[in-house]
Amino acid sequence: MTGRREIYLQEMGLGPVWRARGVQADAPDLVDAGAMDSAELKAAVAGCTACELHKTRTQAVFGVGDENADWLFIGEAPGAEEDAQGEPFVGQAGKLLDNMLKSIGLKRGDNVYITNVVKSHPPNNRNPLPNEIAACIPYLRRQIDLIQPKLIVTLGKIASEALLGREATIASLRGKVHAYQGIPLIVTYHPAYLLRTLQDKARAWEDLCLAKQTMQDLCSKEPATL
């Protein structure tokens, strides 16, 4: 992280920067993805057998969008439709996410990248288990290193806990700017949850507004490119 960026983060109340280690932070990474380039990482994810989910998935779901995006949205794991199509956030939850992006002037694939913490579909759409998250988190960390987003938005409790490295409710995490390895991070609800809990859509809108304002603040403090 550059000194200039550290100053920006301190001004936003995010310093000193700490390294989030994810769920089961004391457990060693099962996969060494730290030196992989984008093509190697995609191939590793496609052929990964580090957890039992590889036995029941149709295909791994790596992510989709602009690989140099300023915005990175992270969910928990692929659902059945994602497993079938090989793309995160399709179906009704995907349509809602697209509408959420549109509400703040964004669209899928345009300066936006979308992925999940876990790359394989858990059976019956259950939540991923801690050991499954631990097996997949090295891939996500490397994705973040390669994309180098200006801002991360975590969608739901599992993604938020995995990146922030602690257990907490969405209610306690939302409404403020966190940091993951020096990158500002905003927490909001998962679109699938919002489809079931309509009353929290207003809170999700507040989170998106906070994310948009945070991005504007980051961009306004960057030096102009000649």
Instruction: List the end-to-end C-alpha distance of the chain, in Å, as a whole number.
Output: 22
Confidence check: pLDDT of 24 > 50: no
**Is 5 part of a structural domain of the chain?**
no
**Is 122 part of a structural domain of the chain?**
yes
**Is 21 part of a structural domain of the chain?**
no
**Is 134 part of a structural domain of the chain?**
yes
**Is 154 part of a structural domain of the chain?**
yes
Location of structure tokens 């990964």? 48
Question: Could you report the per-residue pLDDT of 84-117, keeping only the tens digit for each?
Answer: 999 999 989 999 999 999 999 999 999 999 999 9
- Phi then psi for residue 40, to 5 deg, are -65, -40
Question: What's the alpha-carbon Rg for the chain, to the nearest Å?
Answer: 17
Location of structure tokens 């200039």? 4
Check residue 64 and give its pLDDT.
97
What distances in angstroms separate CA 210 from CA 49, 72, 174, 215, one per listed residue? 38, 15, 10, 9
Confidence check: pLDDT of 226 > 90: no
The domain containing residue 79 runs over which residues? 29-220
Question: Could you report the per-residue pLDDT of 32-41, keeping only the tens digit for each?
Answer: 887 899 999 9
**Is 24 part of a structural domain of the chain?**
no
Task: Let me know: does 184 contact 177? Beta carbons within 8 Å.
Answer: yes
Confidence check: pLDDT of 23 > 80: no
**Residue 191 is part of a domain; what is its CATH number?**
3.40.470.10
**Is 3 part of a structural domain of the chain?**
no
Would you mind telling me the total number of residues written for the chain in this entry? 226
| Domain count within the chain | 1
For residue 70, give every residue at least 6 positions away whose Cβ sits within 8 Å of its Cβ, in sequence order, or none: 111, 149, 150, 151, 215
**Is 12 part of a structural domain of the chain?**
no
For the chain, helix (H) and strand (E) counts, in that order, are 9, 6
Task: Let me know: does 119 contact 60? Beta carbons within 8 Å.
Answer: yes
